Amino acid sequence: MPTREIFQKLNAQVNREFNASHLYLRLSDWCTEHNFNGAATFLRNQAKNNVTQMMSLFDYMKQEGADPIIGATPVSACDCRSLEELFLRTLEDLKQRSASLSDLTLLAKDCHDDATCRVLESLAASHAENRQFLQALLEEVRAASREGVPLADTDRGFLNLVNYEHHSSV
Q: How confident is the model at residue 170, as a pLDDT? A: 43
Q: What is each CA distance from 65 to 4, 81, 116, 159, in whole angstroms?
A: 11, 45, 13, 41
Average pLDDT score over the chain: 90
* C-alpha 49 chain-centroid distance: 7
Q: How confident is the model at residue 22, as a pLDDT? A: 94
More confident residue, 32 or 165: 32
- Given a cut of 80, is residue 3 above it in pLDDT? yes
DSSP symbol at 170: -
Share of the chain above pLDDT 90, in %: 75
pLDDT band for position 167 (50/70/90)? very low
Q: How confident is the model at residue 164, as a pLDDT? A: 56
- Given a cut of 70, is residue 148 above it in pLDDT? yes
**Can you say whether the dihedral through the CA atoms of 86, 21, 93, 23 is positive or negative?**
positive
Q: How confident is the model at residue 2, as a pLDDT? A: 85
Closest to 94 in 3D by CA, of 156, 151, 157, 47: 47
* Segment 75-84, tens digit of pLDDT: 676 788 999 9
* Segment 85-112, tens digit of pLDDT: 999 999 999 999 999 999 999 999 999 9
- Given a cut of 50, is residue 119 above it in pLDDT? yes
- The mean per-residue pLDDT over the stretch 118-129 comes to 95
Q: How confident is the model at residue 59, as a pLDDT? A: 97
More confident residue, 152 or 76: 152
Q: How confident is the model at residue 155, as a pLDDT? A: 85
Residues 6+ apart with CB under 8 A from 155: 35, 36, 37, 38, 39, 83
